[in-house]
Structure 1
């Protein structure tokens, strides 16, 4: 059996589910897009092709294995985009929580049943239907669980609003010893530069005490300010609107010292190396066209 253990975002990674791009299906029609960035590329004729995405994921897979990580992959579902495994489930401490995802993505969860078979069934939580939550919005960090949400009355009108306030309450019930700190995120169905699809699209803790942060992703300035104060300005890499759009905050930590990043993120990668991080650069630009990047593609199961 696999002993689940994820207590933060950066402890040394031992086991992970990495999504897959094989048989990801035809280019979606505009009305089938889940997010504004995919829509933009569908309309422009620049939507990524499967061959390129398979190549990019293979590069990520190779880096994980180089660092001794046990990598699980979902079973291939014909004509189904299975790249973003962070959306289907997430682990906090020794529990795997099934995400309540968009109904049309339910079969993505079924593709990791072979992984669930090696997990104690008592450690798998299935939230009630009223709880909407995706892993990109959830980050355990020391005594906190950071949660991205959308509190607006018009929640239901945003396909980009993935985690509701019921999820914040649900996580508090499941992890009463943790402080659940929620953040109201900016949403747009049509403008990718004004849309924080998940919390990890505008914020991510890295290393032992640092973070990547984008102010405009937050609707409440005090909540952004809280993060800036918590990590300290000198420990925060602030990203611009364009860098948020390119997914600079969606890198992935293999350990406190090793970060996987997109090779074109020159400003970020230089900043990280200047602070002693080992940066593993991979090509991930094509996958990034779907408003998800490295963290989105992973479902960590065991960290040290």
Structure 2
């Protein structure tokens, strides 16, 4: 049996699910777009090609192999976008949570059966139906759990609002010994530069005490300032609207010292190296067109 263990975003990674771009399906119609960035590329005729995305994900897998990480891939479903493994499930401590996501993505969860079969069934948690939650909004940070949410009355009008108030309460009840802190995120169905699809689109811890942050992603100034105080102003890399759109905060940590980043993120990668990180640069710009990047396409299972 597999003993799950995830307490933070940066501990040394031992096992991970990496999504797949194989049999990704035809280019969606504008009506089928789930986020404004995909819509933009569908309309512009620049939606990513399957073979390019497969190459990008292979480059990511190679980095994992280099660091001795065990990599699981989902079973390939025909004509199904299975890139974003983070959407369908997430791990906190020794429990795997089955995300309540858009109903037509349910079979994506079933496609990770190779992993599910190795986990004690009592450790696989399916939240009640009214709890809407996706892994991109959930960030364990030792004694804290940070959760991105949107709780305004017009929640149901936003296909980009993925985690609700009930989800925050649910996680609070599951982990009474932790501080569960929620953050209201800015949502837009139409403007990708004004839309924080998930918390990891405007914030992510790196190393032991640093973070990437985008102020405009947060609707409540005090909530943004909570993170600045938590990490300390000198430990924060603040990204602008264009960099958030390029998904600068959606890098992925293999350990407190090693960060996988997109090769075009020049300003960020330079800062990371200045802070003493090893930066593994890979091409991921095609996948980024679907408003998801490195963290979105991984689902860590075990960190030491």
| Aligned residue in 2 for 1:48 | 48
Residue 279 of structure 1: CA displacement? 0.1
Count, aligned residues: 304
| Aligned residue in 2 for 1:297 | 297
TM-score by length of 1: 1.00
Provide, for residues 188-210 of structure 1, a one-character-per-residue CA deviation record: whole Å limited to 9, x for no partner.
00000000000000000110000
| Aligned residue in 1 for 2:271 | 271
> SS where residue 295 of structure 1 aligns?
coil
| Aligned residue in 2 for 1:245 | 245
| Aligned residue in 2 for 1:281 | 281
Asked if residue 175 in structure 1 is aligned to residue 175 in structure 2, the reply is yes
Looking at structure 1, the residues matched to 73 and 180 of structure 2 have their Cα atoms a distance apart, in angstroms, of 30
Runs of 4+ with deviation above 2 angstroms: none
| Aligned residue in 1 for 2:118 | 118
| Aligned residue in 2 for 1:9 | 9
| Aligned residue in 2 for 1:159 | 159
Residue 266 of structure 1: CA displacement? 0.3
Residue 230 of structure 1: CA displacement? 1.1
Asked if residue 132 in structure 1 is aligned to residue 101 in structure 2, the reply is no
Q: Which runs of 5+ in 1 are unaligned?
A: none
Looking at structure 1, the residues matched to 173 and 117 of structure 2 have their Cα atoms a distance apart, in angstroms, of 26
| Aligned residue in 1 for 2:24 | 24
Looking at structure 2, the residues matched to 184 and 45 of structure 1 have their Cα atoms a distance apart, in angstroms, of 33
| Aligned residue in 1 for 2:78 | 78
RMSD: 0.4
Looking at structure 2, the residues matched to 57 and 10 of structure 1 have their Cα atoms a distance apart, in angstroms, of 20
Looking at structure 2, the residues matched to 40 and 255 of structure 1 have their Cα atoms a distance apart, in angstroms, of 34
Looking at structure 2, the residues matched to 193 and 113 of structure 1 have their Cα atoms a distance apart, in angstroms, of 36
| Aligned residue in 1 for 2:256 | 256
Residue 113 of structure 1: CA displacement? 1.2
Looking at structure 2, the residues matched to 169 and 22 of structure 1 have their Cα atoms a distance apart, in angstroms, of 36
Provide, for residues 90-124 of structure 1, a one-character-per-residue CA deviation record: whole Å limited to 9, x for no partner.
00000000000111111110100121000010100
> SS where residue 296 of structure 1 aligns?
coil
Looking at structure 2, the residues matched to 142 and 128 of structure 1 have their Cα atoms a distance apart, in angstroms, of 25
> SS where residue 139 of structure 1 aligns?
strand
Residue 142 of structure 1: CA displacement? 1.8
Alignment of 1:183-194 (within 5 A): 183-194=183-194
Looking at structure 2, the residues matched to 31 and 43 of structure 1 have their Cα atoms a distance apart, in angstroms, of 11
Residue 11 of structure 1: CA displacement? 0.2
Provide, for residues 54-76 of structure 1, a one-character-per-residue CA deviation record: whole Å limited to 9, x for no partner.
00000000001100000000000
Of residues 192-201 and 99-108 in structure 1, the stretch that sits farther from structure 2 once superposed is: 99-108
> SS where residue 285 of structure 1 aligns?
coil
Looking at structure 2, the residues matched to 47 and 126 of structure 1 have their Cα atoms a distance apart, in angstroms, of 33
Looking at structure 1, the residues matched to 34 and 113 of structure 2 have their Cα atoms a distance apart, in angstroms, of 24
Alignment of 1:200-211 (within 5 A): 200-211=200-211
Looking at structure 2, the residues matched to 289 and 104 of structure 1 have their Cα atoms a distance apart, in angstroms, of 21
